[in-house]
Structure 1
Amino acid sequence: MKTIKFIIVALIIVVSDYTFKINAQQNSNLQQSSEFDALAVTIKEKMEKHKLYGLSVVVFEDYKVIWTQEWGIKAANSDDKIDANTSFSTASTSKAVVAMLCGVLEEKGLIDLDSPISKYLQRWKLPKSNFKKSGQITWMQLLSHTAGTTQGGFADFYEGDKIPTIVQSLKGELLPRYDKEIGFIFEPGTDWEYSGGGYVIIQMALEDHFKKPLSELMQEHILTPLGLENTTMKQPNEDGFLTNVAKVHNSKGEIIKTGLPITPQVAPSGMWSTPSDLSVIAIEMQNALRNKNNKVISNAVAKRITDIVTLDKIGGWSAGWRRSFGIGNLDWFSHGGSNTGVGGEFMATMNGGNGIAILANGDKPNRMPVMGFLRNEVITMRGWKKPIQKSLLHKAPQELISAIQGPYLDFLFSAQVIDKIFEENGEVYINSPLFEFILNKKKNKMFYLGNNTFKIEDYPNYVQFNLSATNKFEGIVIYRDVDKKNKVIIKKEAVRNHKTELINAFMQNDINDAIITYKKVKKEAPSLNYEAMLNEFGYQFYIENNMEKAIAVLEFNAKEHSSSYNTYDSLGEIYELTGAIKKSIANYKKAAALNTSNDYKERVAQKVLELTRKL
């Protein structure tokens, strides 16, 4: 009898415990649903404020999807709503998936990523260069942007345009942004420079070697095995292209031409997909990294393509994946995408199975404020954050703080912005415009670990400051692991110089004060590439939706460098984006008069014709 009573009591305890857990889970799910519902309302309001037509998101946690949501319409003046199966042009996110394909093909013994890619090229050969190792660049160097190749990114094409083949693209033909063949700017393996052209070389090698279009290779080895039905590398002018797609829009909310960009440079930016399919890719990678529940990507391939190749400039890059984000003090692999009128964010944690995929069909000023807010709200709401281990922390010596305070040319991500280190209430902080832009934070705490070394909040690398015997700042060492593998040594002259002063002037002052500083700096350091810097400042202000300052900077650049067609081309583009059609036409015509390329003159003539029809 006692045994029976004991069993009954035990069963009651077990059932009660199970019921408690079920109720707790249900309450948690209700709270989660309520939080996401409230966020969905806020995002809709922000889309209306920023004139963004369509947005789609998937959030995953603990290796499974926990939220999907779509807002808006596929195209202006349409009632066709975006749904979970609506695909967007993913732009540069394509590169990460191409790296996955290359990893899988290597594991199957079909290519060798450490061998010279020249062995696989048939239709085109690498150009001659003054750099000794340029003829021996490897797949891995191209995948990680350490090959030294040029052609950073590409303009989109549309039905009716003259569309280059990839051979013509590599030769610099029919390209709005380039007028010469892809080349080299440093000895392969010694630096980092983002190069979409490097991925076109990869595309060429894959297609030459396998005698198939890249879209077919991707379908065979990645998309079909993962069951991705709404992802393709086929282009809108090809048979078999997707039918449920979002069109691209300019900053005024107008559909750009046909709304369907055609990208012959498929490897760097030609993939179309949905956040749902991207989440499948991310979770497969995450499962492969923990070697559990992965179906297509092996543990070896996942590690191969996410292992950091370099910390130079960007703060961390692997084969295809950006590894420089440390949001929430977590380790991420990611790859966003940004083309005119469309773009997204795609990021996942190396451990824990968390992440987010967002795609939107608006231009940078329309989509970026909304996507950034959405990303940050999700990360905060879900508590994706790891505290800094307090037992490792020390109080920073005052002589160290005094030595490192002040402005620096950005050393975290090598952006054309100014970082500022300062002391506040006995703590050390860094103000970085990149952190402000990405995370909406005006300051990030710097945790002192000893030996002149800090761990910066939301940044994945360690930062060590080198001081002289008299406690004067001399340089910085950036590293990820305690063994300091891939460490980057930055000399004082690289982060505190005339460029620092110039960038600070344009970012902090009005245009007239900035020009005064510009003239002073130019007199002191005449060899700097002022045209390129001013052009970059202008586009940075455009991204920040500061149109008045963007135009003022680009107008000044055109006056300063009146013999450069590119300054007028940039003005033509910015005026077009802001709706000043007559000024846009005038500047495009000036650019065409200065450029001797017949291809460029033809493209400008076509552009002018299109703009004239809008008057």
Structure 2
Amino acid sequence: MVSKAPVQSSRLDQLWPTVSAEMERSKLNGISVAVFDDYRIVDLHTQGVKSIDTGAAIDERTAFSTASISKVTTALLCLMLARDGVIDLDVPISGYLKSWKLPKSDKPGAAEVTWRQLLTHTAGTSQHGFADFYEGDAVPSLIDSLEGRLPRYDKPIEFLFAPGTNWKYSGGGYVILQLALEDHLGKSLEDLVRERIFAPLGMIDTTMVQPGSEGFLGNAALVHDKDGAVIRTGLPITPQISASGMWSTPTDMAKFMIAFQRALDGREDGVITPSLAREMTDIISLRYVGGMGTPFFRGMGFGNTDWFRHDGSNTGVNVEMLASMKGGYGVVIMGNGDDPNTNPVFATLRRGIIDKMGWRHRQPLDKQPLEPALRDTLVGSYKGLLYNMGFDYRIEQVDGELWIASEFFQHFLGIDRSRMHHLGNDVFAVEDFPNRLRFERSADGTVANVHIFRAGDDSAPVVRSIGELRPGE
């Protein structure tokens, strides 16, 4: 069953049959999508069912577990409280913890780990994520989670490196943040975000209240396994709500992201001020996942766009939100299936929406003549050229132009390769990568290093040797 809002964009009408076919191939039971442009929602689309068992159709107010997108809400609350003088993000968080103490560690600075380090995944804390629970289970407390009294994760949170010296995604760090907030303020995180964020932004179908508790939403999509079957009750309970316990709809999360975009445009008309928006999206380092904010990811450039984004993936559900740094456009996608079900559908949606909305051409790229010698030198295979995440890349020449081919583009966009544009002075833009590549040549004309930098951003470039990227050549 398909439903649409009155604000629908006819540009996307031809996309939905393609999405339906991909959903059937991938055994994905349901999706919900919000598309926004020029700072307003222009299309809402739902398809499929909340539960394969009941056949109840997804509608625009059906909420999904948003998994790790919860971290963005937690981070915003922390920044708002810091702005108001309630907490200080750059002092040790230990001073705010009353019911639990940080674990002892031989890592320098662990005892002085700060709120900001935990928010940016630079604290060195362990535990990427946590298991879900269901009605009838013995649901652990936050302190159980921190001390490793869990069925699947039986190790206490620990420090893996000295805070501030590296980056590692850590749900465990966000649990420490949740406990510090609740200890210091004497209120639940559910109440704090409802009062400070959800209600003021008009996010009427968003909550951090968990299934089975008073106040949970009555219209929710159930989680399904890779075979398309409902997992247990279908309603996972996540006690670590700061890290992965929020439920929401694409409509509400589009409102959330548009509020950031309006603030980035300098508008002082909402809960999210320009200074808060900049603090959340400013790049802390290009060395981490192509560009990391607090805690938005700034490393994806799908469709020639500098996005701030976050995704979420729990067992049986996947969600993603992409918003442009300029221009007020983007998309929120939610699907009630596991990775093998949602990945191909989300790739089809990303590519189709970007293409049909014309976003790839919003910010034209210059193109300068390319010296044949440099072109020929760059052609070949590379290890981790754009993202050091295990992907292989190959620069190819097609009709005198350079393209980068990689399974990365296939995974995220369903395309084999992305075009390179020579901007002059040995600098290249890649249509689906937000950073620029400057190839540094030695005196003899051979390429020695590649400098990865973000145009218009003062983050330190990442410099990698061609020997590292092209071993054996």
TM-score between the two structures when normalised by the length of structure 2: 0.92
Which of the residues 60, 76, 100 maps onto 1:124?
Answer: 100
Which of the residues 20, 30, 44 maps onto 1:44?
Answer: 20
Higher strand proportion:
2
CA gap 1:477/1:173 in 2 versus in 1, 3 angstroms: farther
Residues 211-230 of structure 1 aligned to structure 2 (within 5 Å): 211-230=186-205
Residue in structure 2 matched with residue 322 of structure 1 by the alignment: 297
CA gap 1:184/1:407 in 2 versus in 1, 3 angstroms: farther
Matches of 1:258 and 1:439 in 2, distance apart? 33
How many residues in Structure 1 have an aligned counterpart in Structure 2?
468
Residues 81-100 of structure 1 aligned to structure 2 (within 5 Å): 81-100=57-76
Matched, 1:186 2:161: yes
Which of the residues 363, 371, 380 maps onto 1:406?
Answer: 380
8 Å CA contact 1:158, 1:261 repeated in 2 = yes
Residue in structure 1 matched with residue 422 of structure 2 by the alignment: 448
Per-residue CA deviations over 1:440-491 (Å, capped at 9, x if unaligned) read: 2212222223444322222111122344444555443221146752322334
Deviation (angstroms), 1:116:
2.2
Which of the residues 294, 298, 315 maps onto 1:340?
Answer: 315
Residue in structure 2 matched with residue 294 of structure 1 by the alignment: 269
Three-state SS of the structure 2 residue aligned to 1:369 is helix
CA gap 1:342/1:483 in 2 versus in 1, 3 angstroms: closer
Matched, 1:478 2:424: no
Three-state SS of the structure 2 residue aligned to 1:180 is coil
CA gap 1:489/1:124 in 2 versus in 1, 3 angstroms: farther
CA gap 1:72/1:110 in 2 versus in 1, 3 angstroms: same
Matches of 1:134 and 1:220 in 2, distance apart? 32
Per-residue CA deviations over 1:94-147 (Å, capped at 9, x if unaligned) read: 111222211211121111222222222222222233332222222222222122
8 Å CA contact 2:286, 2:459 repeated in 1 = no
8 Å CA contact 2:66, 2:312 repeated in 1 = yes
**Letter of the aligned partner of 1:130 in structure 2?**
D
Matches of 2:232 and 2:177 in 1, distance apart? 29
Residue in structure 1 matched with residue 83 of structure 2 by the alignment: 107
Residue in structure 1 matched with residue 38 of structure 2 by the alignment: 62
Residue in structure 2 matched with residue 259 of structure 1 by the alignment: 234
**Letter of the aligned partner of 2:459 in structure 1?**
K
Matches of 1:113 and 1:140 in 2, distance apart? 5
Matched, 1:281 2:256: yes
Deviation (angstroms), 1:199:
1.2
**Letter of the aligned partner of 2:218 in structure 1?**
T
- Aligned residues: percent identity? 45
8 Å CA contact 1:90, 1:344 repeated in 2 = yes
Residue in structure 1 matched with residue 412 of structure 2 by the alignment: 438
Residue in structure 2 matched with residue 510 of structure 1 by the alignment: none
8 Å CA contact 2:366, 2:421 repeated in 1 = no
Matches of 2:438 and 2:61 in 1, distance apart? 47
8 Å CA contact 2:428, 2:438 repeated in 1 = yes
8 Å CA contact 1:313, 1:414 repeated in 2 = no
Matches of 1:277 and 1:71 in 2, distance apart? 18
**Letter of the aligned partner of 1:189 in structure 2?**
G
Deviation (angstroms), 1:417:
1.8
**Letter of the aligned partner of 1:418 in structure 2?**
D
Matched, 1:53 2:33: no
Matches of 1:275 and 1:370 in 2, distance apart? 16
Three-state SS of the structure 2 residue aligned to 1:461 is strand
Q: Which moved more, 1:238-247 or 1:471-480?
A: 471-480
Matches of 1:183 and 1:70 in 2, distance apart? 42
Matched, 1:428 2:415: no
Matches of 2:35 and 2:91 in 1, distance apart? 38
8 Å CA contact 2:7, 2:42 repeated in 1 = no
Which of the residues 371, 383, 389 maps onto 2:346?
Answer: 371
Deviation (angstroms), 1:33:
4.6
**Letter of the aligned partner of 1:212 in structure 2?**
K
8 Å CA contact 1:118, 1:135 repeated in 2 = yes
Bigger radius of gyration? 1
Deviation (angstroms), 1:206:
1.0
Q: Which moved more, 1:444-453 or 1:294-303?
A: 444-453
Residue in structure 1 matched with residue 50 of structure 2 by the alignment: 74
Residue in structure 2 matched with residue 12 of structure 1 by the alignment: none
CA gap 1:148/1:450 in 2 versus in 1, 3 angstroms: farther
CA gap 1:470/1:162 in 2 versus in 1, 3 angstroms: farther
Residues 196-595 of structure 1 aligned to structure 2 (within 5 Å): 196-292=171-267, 294-385=269-360, 386-390=362-366, 393-396=368-371, 398=373, 400-481=374-455, 484-492=458-466, 494-496=468-470
8 Å CA contact 2:9, 2:42 repeated in 1 = no
**Letter of the aligned partner of 2:119 in structure 1?**
L
**Letter of the aligned partner of 1:291 in structure 2?**
G
Three-state SS of the structure 2 residue aligned to 1:390 is coil
Higher helix proportion:
1
CA gap 1:46/1:156 in 2 versus in 1, 3 angstroms: same
Three-state SS of the structure 2 residue aligned to 1:130 is coil
CA gap 1:442/1:144 in 2 versus in 1, 3 angstroms: same
CA gap 1:263/1:396 in 2 versus in 1, 3 angstroms: farther
Per-residue CA deviations over 1:419-447 (Å, capped at 9, x if unaligned) read: 22233333222112212211222122222
Residue in structure 2 matched with residue 146 of structure 1 by the alignment: 122
8 Å CA contact 2:53, 2:230 repeated in 1 = no
Matches of 1:416 and 1:353 in 2, distance apart? 32
Deviation (angstroms), 1:342:
0.6
Three-state SS of the structure 2 residue aligned to 1:335 is strand
Residue in structure 2 matched with residue 133 of structure 1 by the alignment: 109
CA gap 1:205/1:494 in 2 versus in 1, 3 angstroms: farther
Matches of 2:445 and 2:332 in 1, distance apart? 46
Deviation (angstroms), 1:328:
2.2
Matches of 2:382 and 2:179 in 1, distance apart? 40
Matched, 1:168 2:125: no
Residues 25-40 of structure 1 aligned to structure 2 (within 5 Å): 33-40=9-16
8 Å CA contact 2:343, 2:411 repeated in 1 = no
